[in-house]
Structure 1
Amino acid sequence: MGRAPLAPLREKPFRIYFAGRLVSTLGGTVAPIALAFAVLDLSGSATDLGLVLAAGVVPQLLFLLVGGVVADRLPRGRVLVLGNAVSGLVQAGTATALLTGHAPLWLLVALHAVLGTAGAFLHPAAQGIVPQLVGVAQLHQANALLRVSSNALRVLGPAVGGVAVALVGPAWAIAWDAATYLAAAVVLGRLRVPLPPKRLANFLADLREGWSEFWSRTWLWAIVLQFSVVNAVWVGGFSLLGPVVADRELGGAASWGVIGAGLAVGLVAGGVLVVWWRPRRPLLVGTLGVLLDVVPLLALAWSDSVVLLAAAAAVAGVGVEVFSVCWSTALQERVPGDRLSRVSSYDMLFSFVFMPLGYLLAGPVAERVGTAPTLVACSAVVVVATLAVLLSRDVRTMRGVTEVAPEAAVT
């Protein structure tokens, strides 16, 4: 069991970062639903929606390594401020286009591509900054607090977003996301975090050192390889086909909002669990939790009950959250701080690499063979990929840093 789960909040820099993340999440919980139904309102095409969503992932993949180097070279707080500011302006442009009735598909694709580019800088900086805000003994609690607080907002966010889309339209929900991004940039502007302790001489040397750190850890690249597959089928099955099923069979955005709220309830429950409980074998426990992703995928294939689908999503949320906290803590404990953002960028690059294919292929495949068979196939892929990674002894046996001798803490 964890000690002093709220201890990270005693540190002022962590409190500022915590507040900035919460403010940004206020809009981020609503935006995905708003975007999905904005595109469906314009064309009704799952393929068009997949194109827009893929446009947010492709530039993120292209620029993640650059974002990792930048976050290891520059003050990570400044990177977060700029990333949030750019994201806010992009979402303001998207909302304006929708409100004025001038939102062709190509423009939504272009704007979402810029948003994805900003994310390529935000995510490595966010992963790397936490060890600069709290001590190593508080990393697990800090990661759990960040996620459980954000996910608590996601309990109501999807439901509120679904209702907002139904009542006032998706444009205003995206405008709200823009405002919260800009507000988060203001809050994070108060954060003063020094440069990482070491910088290399040139960009290519930075990339080579980051790759060496990434490839030297079997547990790291094995799980990343697993998620390159799992993420692709999850976004295709749940994130893309889920709203399509809701639009055609469950009553629209409000129903999908309830299901999204169910997922958030599970995320909160998983977060509360790992605030108080630190598994002795975190990667084993987290990997087993990934198997719960199949529950909502199969439920979408076989059920039209919104309540059952929300409950199924909650089950998956618990597993997702346990894995996420254990994974972030393992990276932050075992990767040197001056290389952490670069290693995280390799992690995200390869974990996300097939997501555009998931977005682009799920719609056409479902139109050809049917939505239910496609969702069942996605579930099977999740199970096979997750069981395969358990063949790694490191994944099965690794213990947290506080469970091992100091000389074995960094591998």
Structure 2
Amino acid sequence: MLTAAAVVTGLGSSGALVAAAFAVLEAGGDGGDVGLVAAARTAPLVLFLLIGGAVADRLPRHRVMVAANALNCVSQALFAVLVLTGEARLWQMALLSALGGTGQAFFAPAAEGMLLSSVTGEQAAKAFAYFRMGMQGAQIGGAALGGALIAAVGPGWVLAIDAAAFAVAGALRAFLDVSHIRERVAGTGMLHDMREGWREVASRRWLWSIVVQFSVVNAVIGAADAVYGPLVAEDHLGGARSWGMALAAFGAGTVLGGLLMTRWKPRRLLLAGTLCVFPFALPSAALAVPLPLSLLIVVMFVSGASIEVFGVSWMTALHQEIPEEKLSRVSAYDWFGSVSMMPVATALAGPAETAVGRTTALWGCAALTVALTAAVLTVPEVRRLTRRSPAPAAAGGPVDGREADAAGVPAGETGR
């Protein structure tokens, strides 16, 4: 049911992200306005993520997810009504996007903690791959359908579909079976819990170095996708339908990457994953040229496949190294680092286009991605962290390999 809820949400959300950009353009906005609305969604996500992680490690995670889905449902429904009635104003779209980001701030750490705590043993990586395949597969259909619907009936209906998807997903998550997850004991306070999460992150150089890497990579790639992608599509590729096809190709690539990771178990998890981040720079370069739609689709497909290898490897490393009762807090710091620069990047995307031109800005996105990925490979723990086989469990003991931490094996040193 966890996967089914993710699929339903992905179907609606992937199309809605495209719809929000085109809703701004339809209302008379420009690239700067698109960037501001995107930034309005990301700013509260950054602001509330650490609180969301602490809450998800104190309360039942599935209940936090349901509450977040309800908020997202309401905000997207109101967004849809405004767009469909032709009454949408920039400040209203920014405010509703901010409410959606607030919901995501509480949802993301709870969801990742829920997923990581739901699987054990050697099948964990395969379970992560299948889950991500379901989620990414939904994005293929959602992006393609969203682009087609935007072209046919406008962005408002796509936003309405997303609101309905959040309602269905929240209902599914309300009935999750959580009997297999042990109860957690809350810490002495919210700040104490947040400090504990920070210590888990700061003590692992492989973890914080990759989080720092993606704080910039996600920001520049997010700006390219949210702001420059729709603009390039509008000017050179035929509009929303073409950009939806490109995003669908990226989603199809992630499915291929997920299939690969159900079979391939690289011994050096983060080395293999980080090497596969380099192709993530290709879509920005393709938009900078810009390549024709057929070649852009190929580039997006390859990029999606490669980044999925990183995604599964990263989740496997977290599952292996982080204690279960701290998963949501560590996930919150991971998310915080990964999205903290996105409001700045998306807000500055329009001014950067004016200052240096869209082409130069896109080449800059690609160059930063390559440079930071190369820098992370200089960290020894990233190159050396090694997949562990689960140790034989004592009766009633853990079976997922995290017992190595309790046995005196420092999490960041397992690859030495």
TM-score, length-scaled by structure 2: 0.92
1:221-240: per-residue Cα shift (whole Å, max 9, x none)? Answer: 00001111111111122332
Give yes or no for the alignment of 1:178 onto 2:146: no
1:313 aligns with 2:300: yes
Residue 382 of structure 2 is aligned to residue 389 of structure 1: no
- CA distance in 2: counterparts of 1:47 and 1:391, whole angstroms: 36
Write the mapping of 1:205-354 to structure 2, written as runs, cut at 5 A: 205-354=192-341
Q: CA deviation at 1:65?
A: 0.6
CA distance in structure 2 between the aligned counterparts of 1:248 and 1:387, rounded to whole angstroms: 33
Q: Which residue of 2 aligns with 1:379?
A: 366
How many matched pairs?
A: 396
Structure 2 match to 1:27: 12
Secondary structure of the structure 1 residue equivalent to 2:276: helix
User: Residue 397 of structure 2 corresponds to which residue in structure 1?
Assistant: none
With 129-138 and 293-302 compared, the bigger mean Cα shift is at 129-138
Kept in 2: contact 1:280–1:403 (CA 8 A): no
Unmatched 5+ residue regions in structure 1? 1-15
Tell me which residue corresponds to 1:88. 73
Deviates more, 1:114-123 or 1:321-330: 321-330
Q: Do the aligned partners of 2:283 and 2:296 also contact (CA within 8 Å) in 1? A: yes
Give the direction of change, closer, same or farther, for the CA distance of 1:77–1:111 in structure 2 (3 Å limit): same
Distance 1:132 1:260 in 2: 30
Residue 108 of structure 2: aligned partner: 123
What's the counterpart of residue 146 of structure 2? 161
- SS of the equivalent of 2:27 reads helix
1:121-163 alpha-carbon deviations (Å, 9 max, x no partner): 1100011112332223332112111111111122232121111
Verify the 8 A CA contact 1:60 1:117 in the aligned structure 2. yes
Post-superposition Cα deviations, 1:308-360, rounded to whole Å, max 9, x if no partner, equal: 11111111101211111111121122111111101111111112111111101
In structure 2, distance between residues paired with 1:84 and 1:117: 11
1:135 aligned to 2:120? yes
Pairing 1:186-201 to 2, within 5 Å after superposition: 186-193=171-178, 194=181, 196-201=183-188
Q: Which residue of 2 aligns with 1:8?
A: none
Distance of 1:158 and 1:228 partners within structure 2: 25
- Give the direction of change, closer, same or farther, for the CA distance of 1:26–1:366 in structure 2 (3 Å limit): same
Structure 2 distance, partners of 1:409, 1:326, is 19
> How far apart are the structure 1 equivalents of 2:147 and 2:11?
14
Correspondence for 1:5: none
2:99 pairs with one of 114, 129, 145: 114
How much has 1:195 moved relative to structure 2? 6.0
Answer whether contact 2:8 2:138 (CA < 8 A) is retained: no
SS for the counterpart of 1:134 is coil
Q: CA deviation at 1:55?
A: 0.5
Q: Is the 8 A contact 2:21 2:226 kept in 1?
A: no
Q: 1:130, 1:139 within 8 Å by CA — same for their partners in 2?
A: no
Which amino acid letter does the alignment assign opposite residue 284 of structure 2?
L
* Distance in 2 separating the partners of 1:273 and 1:403: 22
Report the AA paired with residue 229 of structure 1.
Answer: V
* Secondary structure of 1:402 counterpart: coil
CA RMSD of aligned residues (A): 1.5
CA contact (8 A) 1:249 1:304 kept: no
Q: Which residue of 2 aligns with 1:400?
A: 387
What does the per-residue CA deviation read over 1:232-263, in whole Å, with 9 as the maximum and x for residues that have no partner? 11112233201111012211101101111111
Distance 1:239-1:373 versus aligned 2 partners, 3 A rule: same
**Distance (Å, rounded) in 1 between the aligned partners of 2:177 and 2:142:** 30
What are the Cα deviations for residues 185-239 of structure 1, in whole angstroms up to 9, with x where unaligned? 1111111325643321111111111111110001000000111111111112233
Shift of 1:400: 1.4
**Residues in 2 aligned to 1:265 and 1:23: alpha-carbon distance in whole angstroms:** 17
Alignment deviations for residues 292-314 of structure 1 (CA, whole Å, 9 cap, x no partner): 01111111111341011111111
Aligned residue among 102, 117, 130 for 1:145: 130
Unaligned runs of 5+ in 2: 392-400
Separation in 1 of the partners of 2:330 and 2:364? 31
User: 8 Å contact 2:214–2:338 — kept in the other structure?
Assistant: yes
1 CA distance for matches of 2:177 and 2:113? 14
Aligned to 2:45: 60
Q: Give 1:403 deviation, angstroms.
A: 8.1
1:363 to 325, 350, 360: 350
Query: Partner letter of residue 374 of structure 2?
Result: L
Aligned to 1:283, the other structure's residue is in SS state helix
Q: Which residue identity lines up with residue 60 of structure 2 in the other structure?
A: P
Distance 1:227 1:346 in 2: 12
TM-score by length of 1: 0.93
Contact 1:283 1:326 (C-alpha < 8 Å) held by counterparts: yes
Q: Distance in 2 between matches of 1:163 and 1:33?
A: 11
Is the 2:215–2:339 contact (alpha carbons within 8 Å) kept by the matching residues of 1? yes
Counterpart Cα distance in 2 of 1:162 and 1:294: 23
CA distance in 1, matches of 2:116, 2:27: 44
Identity across aligned pairs (percent)? 43
Structure 2 letter corresponding to 1:101: G
Q: Is the 8 A contact 2:6 2:134 kept in 1?
A: no
| Aligned match for 1:70, one of 45, 48, 55 | 55
Q: Which residue of 1 aligns with 2:398?
A: none
Q: Is the 8 A contact 1:75 1:195 kept in 2?
A: no
